[in-house]
Chains A and B, each alone.
Chain A
């Protein structure tokens, strides 16, 4: 009985006391997503990495290198576009890592952790916002692509499957972002780690140029790069390529399944490590 009366004993009239309700993981995550969308509204330059930057990549590669890169029967511009989309999804990790490091540094995560809410909402909200952020990039890319001659030539189901693979890969990269964001102590450190890993990862692949033309050892790496499988799968599903080049490695000949496998494997390995890093960072 004492447990009940003690909070009532506080002087404030009962009518003033709001009722605390646990609204569940989904609604709390959406509150977090809304917070991140407000951030974008206040700092529209946060969208540069999914708007101007990839459009610049498209134009630079299409018009500067385009003439000298051989892509078989498909036009380079059409072949390039899925590559840039793959790269944009890989950079989903960047956005998530920066946002998380910022929050951890400012102590607002402690505020969330002191609330009677689903603690996973912080990360789920951040992930959803990261995926939304990258999806804006996909839309911008598609519009740019349409303007320079890219088309979806496959079936509607295949087209949707390709978007699904992009998002699944983006979700895997969100976990990489949570891991990096939990480990790094400053935004500068995140920038350093991400630039030095993400650029080689997205370039040593079939994103901008066919892997077949690379020196054998580099070609081997490129062919087993998860981004290559993703990009090859998307190209196949959208009909932006004739098929895997003859003699290419097994992962590229089974690209859609391989891409799904890679994404699930990354999630299975990185998610537990990332969660442990996040807990370690926040709990002490």
Chain B
């Protein structure tokens, strides 16, 4: 028996006035996996998450979370998921523990169980010592961890994270990644939006790239890198004297090579592994000895540049401070 997907977006559309914020977005997230929703600021990531978490009704299309339809069973969706929004959604005037208890009581979890889970979460997120301190005194990283802990108070099988590390310093970011990996190990399904390619690359099993509200690419990080077709073949010949012959061989194979004579290195565009083995074979037949032959895959940054014509993090700085979620704009 194949288990049903944890999250399913089916032709989601959201229109604000005459602006199409989300345009026919569909994807599937299998249980226990991580989907990265990647896109620049204003691409429609937050609006997509808001629709899937029942905060904003879709103009058309639907989504299912743990089998519950957002249109027909929003309460079922809310019972099955936790949400960590873009702006930290904890109460600054309450302590960490009080925040956990507030949300836990609203879930109707019985007090004894609630106390136990709250304490476990505080410990797990290294907040035990800060549990009785008012959140106002927390650092940015602590707030994000508490926010995440609050989202997990009912132990939901599915967790939505909207730009979980935006605005965090590199160390806090690494810590949070560690925590998220731990959740996945426990079987939680994650959907996270991010503008950071590195984050998607590190955490996600599957990536959906959206831009201007549309899905422009989808696949594993590896598939995306391959699909961008910009893998580079890098050959280092053993004898400097062979380098011209090597370049000629590549030209004969219809591959334009960049020659770096000093380093005895040739760099050429290659489609993938098959190109590399073919060229390696020709070098061998021609008797050219090579020190090294390898395929340099493009980073997700390169992929993004190829897909959208611009860098992903160009306008990332604007969102580092807590701006309004994109969905709030009209």
Contact = CB atoms under 8 A, between A and B. Distances in A.
A284 B16 contact: yes
Interface string A1-39: 011011101111000111111110000100100010011
A214 interface: no
A284 B328 contact: yes
Nearest to B91: A108
Nearest to B2: A2
Contacts of B186: 10-12
A59 interface: no
B108 A111 contact: no
Task: List the 7 shortest-distance A-B pairs measured between CB atoms, nearest first.
Answer: A11-B187, A21-B108, A107-B87, A111-B89, A116-B78, A23-B108, A114-B83
A21 to B, nearest CB: 3
Contacts of B330: 284
B66 A20 contact: no
Interface in B77-116: 78-83, 85-94, 98, 102-110, 113-114
A12 B67 contact: no
Contacts of B93: 38-39, 42-43
18 contacts: A5-B3, A6-B3, A6-B31, A6-B66, A7-B66, A9-B187, A12-B186, A19-B113, A20-B108, A20-B154, A31-B106, A35-B102, A108-B90, A113-B55, A114-B82, A115-B78, A115-B106, A116-B78
A42 to B, nearest CB: 5
Interface string A73-116: 00000000000000000000000000000000011101111111
Interface residues on B, range: 35 or more
Contact of A28 (B79, B106, B110, B328): B106
B229 interface: no
A235 to B, nearest CB: 38
A31 B75 CA distance: 19
B155 interface: yes
Given A2-B4, A3-B67, A111-B85, A10 B92 contact: no
A117 interface: yes
Interface of A: 2-3, 5-7, 9-12, 16-23, 28, 31, 35, 38-39, 42-43, 106-108, 110-117, 121, 282-284
A111 B82 CA distance: 9
B189 to A, nearest CB: 8
Contact of B31 (A10, A17, A22, A117): A10
Contacts of A110: 55, 83, 85, 89, 325
Contact of A111 (B150, B154, B188): B150
A21 B85 CA distance: 23
A6 B154 CA distance: 17
Contact of A17 (B57, B78, B104, B155): B155
Contacts of B78: 114-116
B155 A38 contact: no
B327 A284 contact: yes
Contacts of B54: 113-114
A111 B83 contact: yes
A19 B66 contact: no
A107 B187 contact: no
Contacts of A35: 91, 94, 102
A39 B134 CA distance: 11
Contacts of A114: 53-55, 78, 81-83
A7 B80 contact: yes
A107 B86 contact: yes
